[in-house]
A = this chain, B = another copy of it.
Amino acid sequence: MHTPSKTVQFDGDLIMHRGGALQSPTIAYETWGTLKGAGENAIILFTGLSPSAHASSTQGNPAAGWWEEMIGSGLPLDTDRYFVICINSLGSCFGSTGPASIDPATGEFYRLTFPTLSLEDVAAGGYEVMRQLGLDKIHTTIGCSMGGMSALAFCVRHPELGGRLLSISSSARALPFSIAVRSLQREMIVRDPLWCGGNYDADDPPVTGQRLARKLGMMTYRSPQEWDLRFGRERSTSEMNSDEMFFGDFAVESYLKSHANRFTGQFDANCYLYLSRASDLFDLAEHGGSIDAGFDKLSLTQAMVVGVETDLLFPIRQQRELAAGLQRSVSDVELVELDCLKGHDSFLVDMDAFRPVVNRFFE
């Protein structure tokens, strides 16, 4: 399911943003639609922490993608008009080189020898895909969640590409609550004895820590208000939790358990740690010495910032800050504050709210 259809490989070393290098790393991507010219109709899409490049079904992989209802003929990212490229983040485990890949220099898995990952490196992966596809301009850069920060890194490093930016439920830098959430998620994993300093057995990974981390994740991806309506104090009819004295027949506990179990088998623990930390470290202020200087380096013709009022992880006040910052250098900036109930994940699950907004951006 997560095997990407296409890859590019860097010609030589990729020098990492915070030091160290990777020897000819691979970047996985998928595309939809037909390229015109040198990128006039190209949309590059950076993902959140956990998705693969499989944003929508393709001929080679008919499984539904994570943004299936957004990309396609007649859909907001209209493949009759646009050439859409989705990038699997460097450091991830779905085709791009990451801590779970083999280091060609040693023949061993990178694991913790992988250099510190930054979202600037993720952006570099996207740029390399573009370059090898022969593009020298871009119509629109899109990023969702962590991908919005990768998109900002991409735009600030490549002002010559111009184009437009669509930032969805993201920010210009992480604030302490989100840092605390992710730091605690990472700690849950590294405190699992099976993590073994990163050298865990592939058949016996630190699933306990990963499940705990995913549960905390779900608590920040959705919203308390949604759960009030959805679960209230409902008890679960399943017996999945009833074997444990201090847990839960509460429906919300069963829900978290099933989500955690589903995710854990899919994502490599070390890759998660690197990407999570990269999200904390990203700060547009690094590009120029201050957050304003970072915004001033952008060279975009239009930007839209979309956020959700119930988002705990990338809160609405950060959407406002991002829009205000973009207004320093971008003449056409629109801030859209959606009152979706489903929190940070709304862009994945509340298509009725997001489709019209993205449609408007492309009209």
Contact = CB atoms under 8 A, between A and B. Distances in A.
A244 B190 contact: yes
Given A247-B187, A250-B280, A177 B227 contact: yes
Interface stretch (A3-11, A124-132, A208-216): A208-216
Interface in A237-259: 244-248, 250-253, 256
A177 B246 contact: no
Interface in A163-190: 173-177, 179-181, 183-184, 186-188, 190
B176 A246 contact: no
Contacts of A252: 176-177, 179-180, 183
B216 A247 contact: no
A212 B227 contact: no
A245 B212 contact: no
A175 B244 contact: no
A96 to B, nearest CB: 20
Contact of A176 (B190, B250, B276): B250
Interface in A210-234: 212, 215-216, 219, 224, 227-228, 230-233
Contacts of A312: 224
A193 interface: yes
B250 A183 contact: yes
A72 B357 CA distance: 58
Q: How many copies does the complex hold?
A: 2
A283 interface: yes
Contacts of A181: 219
A273 interface: yes
A287 interface: no
A315 interface: yes
Q: Is the interface of A mostly helix, strand, loop or mixed?
A: helix
A36 interface: no
Contacts of A208: 191
A277 interface: yes
Interface in A247-275: 247-248, 250-253, 256, 273
A112 interface: yes
Nearest to A218: B180
A82 to B, nearest CB: 36
Contact of A228 (B176, B191, B230, B245): B176
A210 to B, nearest CB: 11
A187 B228 CA distance: 22
Interface in A303-318: 312, 315
Contact of A184 (B212, B250, B283): B212
Contact of A188 (B212, B228, B256): B212
A255 to B, nearest CB: 9
A315 B273 contact: no
Question: Ordered nearest first, which 7 A-B pairs have the shortest CB separation?
Answer: A177-B224, A176-B252, A176-B227, A176-B231, A186-B246, A246-B273, A183-B253
9 contacts: A112-B245, A176-B224, A177-B219, A179-B233, A179-B250, A183-B247, A184-B212, A184-B215, A187-B212
Interface of A: 112, 173-177, 179-181, 183-184, 186-188, 190-191, 193, 208, 212, 215-216, 219, 224, 227-228, 230-233, 244-248, 250-253, 256, 273, 276-277, 280, 283, 312, 315
